[in-house]
A and B are shown apart, each in its own frame.
Chain A
Amino acid sequence: MRREPTLFCAAVLFALSGCAARASGGPAVLGRDRPVGAEVFRAELAMVLDLEPEARCEESFDLRIYRDPRVELVRWDEQRGECAGRAVTIRYYAERLPSAELVLVVGKLVRKAHVAGSPQ
């Protein structure tokens, strides 16, 4: 069966760009924070983090992780001002960011991270 070449190429390119976007996980092209539709599936991951010890460690972590557009919200515990042993719940777009990749992304930004409830 003969495929329509233009359409086929476009489909391949679209798929590849999607794969690349999914694989990169890196900083998004900066524009403006936009709402994401309610139909996009969200999941949450609870973690305990030892952040880089610095004056605004919580904010510093947020500013880095939010560059990944697949992360929707980081909810922090009440231990404001502390950098070690911080409990967070990260809400993310699960179809775009597998939880295992999220753990890796977080791990690169902190001194120590483990998924809450899992063995350290």
Chain B
Amino acid sequence: MRTAFGRALGRMPSVAALPIGPALLVAALLPATAVVAKALAPTSVHAAEHEPSAVERLLAKVPSDPSVLINVPYQDLPASPDFVNLGKRSTKALERCLADNVDADARARCAIVLEALADRRALATLQAALDDWEPLVRYRVVKALGAVPDKSSVARLIALYLRKDEEPRVRAAVVGVLGKISDQRVVTLLRAELVKTPDGGDLRPALFDALWQLRHLLARDTLIDDTRKALGSDSDSLVLSATLAAAELGSPRHVAALEKLIDHPSVEIRNKAVYALGRVGDKTATKALLATLPKVRDSRMLNNIAFALERLDKQSFYVEIAKTVEHKQAVIRLNAAFVLGDVRHAEGLRLLEKALGDPSDFVRTSAVAAMGKLALSGDELARALAALAPLANSASVPLREEAIYALHRLTPGGSPDRIYSGLYAGLDPRKYHAAIRRAALALGDAGDARVRGYLLNCLLGYSCSVAEVGPYFTKHTDEVASGRMLLGWARGREGLAKVVATLRPSGTLPVAMSALRDAWASPESQETLTSLQILANLGDSSAQELIVARAATDRTLPRVWSLVAAGRLGYADAPAKLVQELEVIAAEGLGDFVRAAATIEEPTVRASLDAALEQKSEDADLQIAIAAAAIRLAWNPDRAIFRFLAGLASPDGFERALAERYLAKNNDRRVTWLLRRALAREGSIDVKDRLRAALDERS
């Protein structure tokens, strides 16, 4: 007999429907009883001792002996990740390797690692190595110089680019690096090269991309003119880059060139051209866009057209779309309804009401879905609800489905009961599995307890992702679900770590400590990293000793995560050690460092790091500076945003690009609001463009 609780759990009778949380938890722990006992015992983790290999002995000498790599052939070199793991402690040895090792492959390898490290101390060595005899080494050296862009490299890089005997890939790499160095000599070269007829490899797309990176150094008119010329180019790659540029610049002087691209054979270029026309917002493009509508074959293009038309001429748009809604071909009527929904204006209601009477179910379904997207209020909302209500009982399941979701969206407070009875409970699971799943997810979003069991099974059965279902269980907690998620994580479903860390079901501490011990021989494994995150979130200082022991690993990533976790649990040395790590970590690892440090929630730990990070955020090494700022942005967006605004307005294009990259990685809504405030108050047109692009990326 099912319990009342079990009935409430919904349509999937299962163990989840029974109140057996504690039993489950015990079951989860039973197979690992010995491990649990070990976890509860005093810390005693011992890695197996072994005789270090030749490579390990070599690696151990790298930080202290700059000459250690000079006579090591390529095949005897440690792997690149092992060098990178040492961070900037290996710079000197790598420099000597690049300068003095006679094996070209070894020199190339050392240059690759120097690129990953991005240590400015290696600049002079890298610049000298541009004269290396081997093209492969020169190519790698150029790329490494791109990681530490500096004006002192410009003359040598330009000289290399202009050599007639240089290989095309080296010249292309030089162009890419020059685009990172804000220098007028570079701008002059790039503009001159861009108008030349290509001989051999066509570098114009790379030249344009590099010039675009330096757009803050160009007069607006010059930039617009160069982009207009690129839009008319015979190179598809160049045209594509130019359409992206045109979208950001928003100049009416690009409209004619963009209109010609609406019918371009490349689907990418067509879409980007339409998008750019929308961004330009010039009414003259309306006719060309509307003429395209009947020819559209894919929904992305439709989206872009809707986006563009919304910004252009609303009045003529509705005159033209009214004709399209009555077109003799159903697929065009369907597309027109789709566009009306995407535009979202209430003016579309009248036309969509008409489309609800269409003989084609496809058109009617599209019209229903579109109606659900409209921004309506008052009488118009009442009209839409009245028109949709009868369709919620339609015999056509797709039509019924869209009508129910449209009603749910338009009804103030939603209408979950309609989704429950009309779709979730009202459809045959054997025939309508996908529709029921969608209904359950929608009900989950609405916080409906009736789908708890379904969602739990869906998640644990790999039919729903953690991203889809996790938020439901963190909002609506219960011990049964939490225990099963802990079990799932312990069995290797690492994606559940975040949910487990948030829910903290009873029993998590010994299980997570056991997992950390279990993975001791694999410090970089997901098991180790997620255990550390979970233990840090639990806030139980009894795990501190074990985590501090883990922080003694020679692998950088788990060491950083261990220090973060130990610091969160009260280990007083952690903040200073983390700052030391920031100084030596390879630039390639800075993103991971930021991700780890951003998880620190404890105000005291933040406070003990904040002054050092604020100082670091002005470091001459821009990669370190913006990484430090990114941690502060995660902790306190209101204060840290100004470092990013300064970065976006920097005279150095590389700093602008770094600021853009870290802003894009931060998904906090508060950052979005602060970016809007910055855009509203920004005076520089170039910075405005970048802020606009950053916001578009987030929407």
Which B positions have Cβ atoms within 8 angstroms of A? 307, 310, 342-346, 374-377, 412, 638-639, 641-642, 645, 649, 669-670, 673-674, 676-684, 687, 695, 699
Contact = CB atoms under 8 A, between A and B. Distances in A.
Interface in A47-105: 50, 53-57, 59, 62-67, 69, 73-76, 82-85
Nearest to A84: B377
A35 interface: yes
A73 B639 contact: no
Given A53-B344, A55-B307, A59-B695, 12 more contacts: A32-B649, A32-B678, A32-B687, A35-B639, A53-B375, A54-B344, A56-B699, A63-B679, A65-B680, A67-B681, A73-B674, A84-B376
Given A53-B346, A55-B344, A66-B680, A34 B375 contact: no
Interface-central residue, B377, B642, B678, B684, by most chain A CB under 10 Å: B377
Contact of A59 (B310, B344, B676): B676
B404 to A, nearest CB: 18
A73 B673 contact: yes
Interface string A106-119: 00000100000000
Contact of A28 (B344, B377, B670, B681): B681
Contact of A63 (B343, B375, B669, B676): B676
A26 B498 CA distance: 45
A75 B683 CA distance: 24
A39 interface: no
A35 B638 CA distance: 9
A13 B687 CA distance: 34
Contact of A83 (B375, B638, B678, B681): B375
Nearest to B674: A73
A73 B678 CA distance: 11
A100 to B, nearest CB: 23
A81 to B, nearest CB: 9
A1 interface: no
A90 to B, nearest CB: 11
Given A32-B683, A33-B681, A84-B377, A53 B345 contact: yes
B344 A32 contact: no
10 contacts: A32-B683, A33-B642, A34-B642, A50-B377, A53-B345, A53-B375, A55-B342, A59-B699, A62-B676, A76-B669
Contact of A75 (B307, B342, B673, B676): B673
Contacts of A65: 680
B345 A62 contact: no
B681 A66 contact: yes
A30 interface: yes
Nearest to B698: A59
Contact of B683 (A31, A54, A56, A73): A31
Nearest 4 Cβ contacts at the A-B interface: A53-B375, A66-B680, A30-B683, A62-B676
A85 B684 CA distance: 35
B680 to A, nearest CB: 4
Given A53-B346, A55-B310, A56-B699, A76 B683 contact: no
A54 to B, nearest CB: 7
Nearest to A55: B344
A74 B649 CA distance: 24
B639 A33 contact: no
Contacts of B683: 30-32
Nearest to A63: B680
Contact of A33 (B376, B682, B695): B682
B377 A76 contact: no
Given A30-B683, A32-B683, A67-B681, A54 B375 contact: yes
A54 B343 CA distance: 8
A87 to B, nearest CB: 13
A59 B683 CA distance: 19
